[in-house]
Amino acid sequence: MTRAEDVRAGLRGRVAQVSPAGDHSVAAGRLLRTQGVTAAAGFRAAGIAAGIKASGACDLALVFNEGPDYAAAGVLTRNKVKAAPVLWTQQVLTTGQLRAVILNSGGANACTGPAGFGDTHATAEAVAAALSDWGTETGAIEVAVCSTGLIGDRLPMDTVLAGVTNVVHELHGGLQGGDDAAHAIMTTDTVAKQVALHHQNKWTIGGMAKGAGMLAPSLATMLCVLTTDAAADPAALDRALRRATARTFDRLDVDGSCSTNDTVLLLASGASEIAPPQADLDDAVLRVCDDMCAQLQADAEGVTKRVTVTVAGAASEDDALIAARMIARDSLVKTAIFGSDPNWGRVLAAVGMAPITLDPDQITVSFNGSAVCVAGVGAPGAREVDLSGADIDVAVDLGVGNGQAAIRTTDLSHAYVEENSAYSS
Amino acid sequence: MTRAEDVRAGLRGRVAQVSPAGDHSVAAGRLLRTQGVTAAAGFRAAGIAAGIKASGACDLALVFNEGPDYAAAGVLTRNKVKAAPVLWTQQVLTTGQLRAVILNSGGANACTGPAGFGDTHATAEAVAAALSDWGTETGAIEVAVCSTGLIGDRLPMDTVLAGVTNVVHELHGGLQGGDDAAHAIMTTDTVAKQVALHHQNKWTIGGMAKGAGMLAPSLATMLCVLTTDAAADPAALDRALRRATARTFDRLDVDGSCSTNDTVLLLASGASEIAPPQADLDDAVLRVCDDMCAQLQADAEGVTKRVTVTVAGAASEDDALIAARMIARDSLVKTAIFGSDPNWGRVLAAVGMAPITLDPDQITVSFNGSAVCVAGVGAPGAREVDLSGADIDVAVDLGVGNGQAAIRTTDLSHAYVEENSAYSS
């Protein structure tokens, strides 16, 4: 099997397990990973090699909403150090309307000061001018900007602006456009991440994402663009997106690091002429975000194990989430899992530091379904549990209540250290 | 140079730098790393190979206070999951009196339930009985117990109890006894850690410590025993010890993990017949703890760089400490430093997540004295700063106040992953 096939096989095996998104009714429809932002009617996309990356790889993507509606919502990083494109996108989202999203890899345009913000503004203006020339009157305020790559350097603006003209000319509505865009936003990702849900009620939601490091709350992914041909106003989109990200991207934690550039956008064209009930929209957005997180986890930097940490029996869902995050971030737990070592004592040491209601003598831990610690004491055979597989479930029951939550994470491997110690990756 | 010499050379180079302990008057006296718990008058110690470790290495240590005073204080882990010896020691410390501390490596006796607590109690009883036989009437309530090693397994009690009799017979007051004890508590440590301060006013404080992983607040070290021949009551010892640990052990953070067994004890024999003023005692305990932390940092698991993260210009000392800890714990910062990569953007991304007063446009960062980011924007030449040496100073000025604090940490290396992914290390 190729790596991608192996990953997907592993993920299929997870279906019966607890999803970090919590219990949710499965949205009625078909989920496909071969389609992305152009699966929904009313959207065109393109991805090109503009020359921002020295390697010559694709580095500039455009997602364009043809309407008739232009409703949009977004969730942005909670990091106080926000990149210029995040500051820009935060502003343009206040209108609840977007016609286009321009995304570049090869540079985060973060910590670049007022000049960097000027670069983002100029990029949005150039996209608006090119779209207007192309026949769709567009203002810069209708253009969101996303950037990803190294923090701290200015973008090569001559290259970016020339690329903007080219990428507008490449726009097309077929699946290839979405696929090109999904590839153009990759940095250390090894595979493009796309998903589309075709709802049985004749509307569609699709999306693309990138992100392999700096995966943590408050947003796990660096960049994610979702598109739907449903008719929905900005408030409905905003509700569905916030609810979904809180239960998906916010519960994916690879390295505890939170990016300066994290952005998740949801654009609605209304082209299906279907206005789904809020509950259907909520479920569909949640399902798409959940799948996107599974793809991000499976391709995280240096991953050799996909780990789900589930904490049940907590005094509240918040307590369960805090405990699950403490375990998921603990370097000693993560290195033990890399070594396939059922060293459950490290799980207890980690959870013991969580600022939550806890009774050490009530804690039960299991690895892949095998009890390793019962009522705070090691279970027979705990040291012999086989953790050699690629999917590891760490289940903790605190025995003090009914709160439950789960976090997706990965192991801490040599490859993670290697990938992140290379010069300014 | 050997590794130990190299470490010491590096540490000598730090003298002029900001100590995580903050500004403190240097206690008047001579600091020696060749002496430990028996440097102070009135103390005997011993370390033996009792057979607890399968390797046959030394694994049982005893520190004995001959008096005339038996005052004692301790600071224990804040982890809610506390090992049996911590629960025992917490109890016996309520009297403010200790005659002896028995310490074993080769097993943490944590998460072992009531049976494990019974083992600790039996160990203290055996020490008391052996000391009484030896001529010093002692009760179990005067014996603190410390254990270190793998969490979750019961100790081989026949071996431990036989060892207790033997280690009492080995007790002696020379420096060798302290040295043997310091070696017997080592686990993944590569060097024994001892220090003694001979105060100009004719009293002495010495100590030993072990700890190489699970170094984090609330106590950085697994185990540390300090002894002094000063005359001081338990309240004075407690004040000096809490003040010192808050500024030293609590500011050493190698991997964010906090042990179930962390214990720092301070025993006073009064044998010098000197009762130093509280300020002198405070300063001496702080200086000894600070040096012990430098030794622990230098020998941390997988360390290739000794890193000090200093945050100044914060709204308060608490804010500075939170920010420094966020940076010191960030896996992306730590891997970049391992790779000698001056990737300052990761420092900004880390500090941006700190729940403190922050103005992203006021942040200044320097590596080893070279400015890499000024007012939130990259400085010329930032990517060329040389971080190839073993000592890295990360200095951040938030520009919003006068609060300052520092954290000692290390890089995140292949060796850290290797050491912690081996089977149940």
pLDDT in tens, B41-71: 999 999 999 999 999 999 999 999 999 999 9
pLDDT digits (tens, 9 = 90+) for B339-351: 898 989 889 988 9
Banded pLDDT at A255 (limits 50, 70, 90): low
Do residue B52 and residue B121 come from a single domain?
yes
Comparing B214 with A98, the larger pLDDT belongs to A98
A73: helix, strand or coil? strand
Task: Compute and round to an integer the Cα radius of gyration of chain B.
Answer: 22
**Residues in chain B within 8 Å Cβ distance of A375:** 113
CB contact under 8 Å between B81 and A260, yes or no, is: no
Q: What percent of chain A has pLDDT over 70?
A: 89
Helix (H) or strand (E) holding B403: strand B403-410
- Whether B13 is covered by a domain: the verdict is no
pLDDT digits (tens, 9 = 90+) for A172-227: 889 999 999 999 998 878 889 899 999 998 999 999 988 765 554 444 446 889 99
Residue of A257, A339, A412 lying closest to B422 (CB–CB): A339
Q: Is the pLDDT of residue B149 over 70?
A: yes
Domain final residue pick, B298, B324, B343: B298
**Residues in chain A within 8 Å Cβ distance of B335:** 416-417, 420-421
Give the pair of three-digit tokens for residue B415: 């060796």
CB contact under 8 Å between A422 and B332, yes or no, is: no
Distance CA A118, CA A154 (A): 11
Distance CA B236, CA A327 (A): 38
Residue of A82, A329, A338 lying closest to B417 (CB–CB): A338
Do residue B35 and residue B114 come from a single domain?
yes
The region of weakest confidence among B20-29, B120-129, B143-152 is B20-29
A240: helix, strand or coil? helix
pLDDT for A51 equals: 97
pLDDT for A26 equals: 56
Do residue A94 and residue A163 come from a single domain?
yes
For residue A188, which of A54, A55, A294, A301 has the smallest C-alpha distance?
A301
- Whether A191 is covered by a domain: the verdict is yes
Asked if residue B274 lies in contact with residue B231, where contact means CB atoms within 8 angstroms, the answer is yes
Other beta carbons within 10 angstroms of residue A233's beta carbon come to 14
Task: List B314's β-bridge partners, or say none.
Answer: B403
Task: Find the residue in A nearest to B355 (Cα).
Answer: A80
Task: Find the residue in B nearest to A110 (Cα).
Answer: B345
Banded pLDDT at B21 (limits 50, 70, 90): low
DSSP string, B203-224: EEEEEEEE-SSS-BTTBS-SEE
**Residues in chain A within 8 Å Cβ distance of B350:** 257
The region of weakest confidence among A118-132, B242-256, B260-274, B377-391 is B242-256
Residue of B332, B352, B378 lying closest to A80 (CB–CB): B352
Residue of B113, B329, B354 lying closest to A376 (CB–CB): B113
Q: Is the pLDDT of residue B171 over 60?
A: yes
- In three-state form (DSSP H/G/I as H, E/B as E, the rest C), the secondary structure along B366-415 is EECCEEEEECCEECCCHHHCCCCCCEEEEEEECCCCCEEEEEEEECCCHH
Which of B417, B419, B423 would you mutate first to test chain A, the one with the most A CBs within 10 A?
A: B417
CB contact under 8 Å between A420 and B331, yes or no, is: yes
Distance CA A131, CA A154 (A): 25
What is the predicted ipTM?
Answer: 0.76
Alpha-carbon gap: A412 to the closest alpha carbon of chain B (Å): 7
Asked if residue A73 lies in contact with residue A93, where contact means CB atoms within 8 angstroms, the answer is yes
Do residue A294 and residue A311 come from a single domain?
no
pLDDT for B425 equals: 42
Distance CA A69, CA A304 (A): 43
Banded pLDDT at A256 (limits 50, 70, 90): low
Range B172-180 average pLDDT: 91
Which of B332, B334, B400 would you mutate first to test chain A, the one with the most A CBs within 10 A?
A: B332
Do residue B320 and residue B371 come from a single domain?
yes
Q: Is the pLDDT of residue A375 over 70?
A: yes
Domain final residue pick, A298, A314, A349: A298
- Whether A372 is covered by a domain: the verdict is yes
The active-site residue out of A77, A120, A136, A221 is: A221
pLDDT digits (tens, 9 = 90+) for B205-257: 999 988 765 554 444 446 889 999 999 999 999 999 999 988 888 887 776 66
- Whether B5 is covered by a domain: the verdict is no
Other beta carbons within 10 angstroms of residue A396's beta carbon come to 25
Alpha-carbon gap: A319 to the closest alpha carbon of chain B (Å): 14
pLDDT for B187 equals: 82
CB contact under 8 Å between A331 and B413, yes or no, is: no
What does pLDDT average to over chain B?
87
Work out how many domains chain B is built from and give that number: 2
Q: Is the pLDDT of residue B7 over 60?
A: no
Q: How far is CA A406 from the centre of its chain?
A: 16
Alpha-carbon gap: B84 to the closest alpha carbon of chain A (Å): 12
Q: Is-catalytic flag, B136?
A: no
Which of A147, A257, A398, A419 would you mutate first to test chain B, the one with the most B CBs within 10 A?
A: A257
CB contact under 8 Å between A81 and B383, yes or no, is: no
Do residue B290 and residue B350 come from a single domain?
no
Do residue B410 and residue B365 come from a single domain?
yes
Which CATH number characterizes residue B326's domain?
A: 3.10.20.340
Which of B78, B79, B81, B414 would you mutate first to test chain A, the one with the most A CBs within 10 A?
A: B81
Q: What is the residue whose two structure tokens read 């939601």? A: A205
**Residues in chain A within 8 Å Cβ distance of B413:** 417
Do residue B248 and residue B318 come from a single domain?
no
Q: Is the pLDDT of residue A2 over 60?
A: no
The region of weakest confidence among B304-313, B364-373, B409-418 is B409-418
HSE-up of residue B210 (Cα within 13 Å, Cβ side): 26
pLDDT for A365 equals: 95
Distance CA B285, CA A383 (A): 41
Banded pLDDT at B3 (limits 50, 70, 90): very low
Residue of B112, B258, B349 lying closest to A81 (CB–CB): B349
Residue of A113, A116, A214 lying closest to B349 (CB–CB): A214
pLDDT for A81 equals: 85
pLDDT digits (tens, 9 = 90+) for A40-90: 999 999 999 999 999 999 999 999 999 999 999 998 888 888 899 999 999
**Residues in chain A within 8 Å Cβ distance of B214:** 332, 349
CB contact under 8 Å between A257 and B330, yes or no, is: yes
Do residue A250 and residue A108 come from a single domain?
yes
pLDDT for A236 equals: 96
Asked if residue A404 lies in contact with residue A310, where contact means CB atoms within 8 angstroms, the answer is yes
Asked if residue B282 lies in contact with residue B244, where contact means CB atoms within 8 angstroms, the answer is yes
Parent domain of B137 = 28-298
CB contact under 8 Å between A152 and B416, yes or no, is: no
Interface contacts (A, B; CB < 8 Å): 208
CB contact under 8 Å between B113 and A377, yes or no, is: yes
Omega before A68 within 30 of 0, i.e. cis: yes
Do residue B257 and residue B326 come from a single domain?
no
- Whether A195 is covered by a domain: the verdict is yes
pLDDT for B14 equals: 37
pLDDT for A22 equals: 52
Dihedrals phi, psi of B176, to nearest 5 degrees: -60, -35
For residue A286, which of A231, A328, A249 has the smallest C-alpha distance?
A249
Distance CA A248, CA A283 (A): 12
- Whether A332 is covered by a domain: the verdict is yes
Q: Is the pLDDT of residue A5 over 60?
A: no
HSE-up of residue B108 (Cα within 13 Å, Cβ side): 28
Is A80 known as a binding-site position? Answer: no
pLDDT for A422 equals: 66
Cα three-residue angle A346-A352-A355, rounded to 5 degrees = 140
Omega before B68 within 30 of 0, i.e. cis: yes
**Residues in chain B within 8 Å Cβ distance of A424:** 336, 341-343, 383
Do residue A356 and residue A214 come from a single domain?
no
Pairing verdict, β B223-228 and B263-268: parallel
Which CATH number characterizes residue B287's domain?
A: 3.60.70.12
Q: Is the pLDDT of residue B262 over 90?
A: no
Task: Find the residue in A nearest to B254 (Cα).
Answer: A331
Domain final residue pick, A282, A298, A314: A298
Range B286-310 average pLDDT: 86
Distance CA B62, CA B64 (A): 6
Distance CA B153, CA A378 (A): 7
Pairing verdict, β B43-48 and B60-65: antiparallel
Q: Is the pLDDT of residue B87 over 60?
A: yes
**Residues in chain A within 8 Å Cβ distance of B361:** 113
**Annotated binding-site positions of B:** 187, 210, 221, 301, 420, 425
pLDDT for A264 equals: 86
**Residues in chain A within 8 Å Cβ distance of B82:** 352, 360
- Whether A292 is covered by a domain: the verdict is yes
Distance CA A200, CA B17 (A): 66
**Residues in chain A within 8 Å Cβ distance of B399:** none
The active-site residue out of B38, B89, B138, B221 is: B221
Do residue A272 and residue A336 come from a single domain?
no
Is A420 known as a binding-site position? Answer: yes
- Whether A4 is covered by a domain: the verdict is no
Alpha helices (H) along B171-252: 175-184, 234-247
For residue A207, which of A235, A233, A244, A163 has the smallest C-alpha distance?
A244
Range A118-130 average pLDDT: 98
CB contact under 8 Å between A329 and B256, yes or no, is: yes
- For helices B84-92 and B113-133, the axis angle rounded to 10 degrees is 50
pLDDT digits (tens, 9 = 90+) for A278-313: 999 999 999 999 888 888 888 777 788 889 999 999
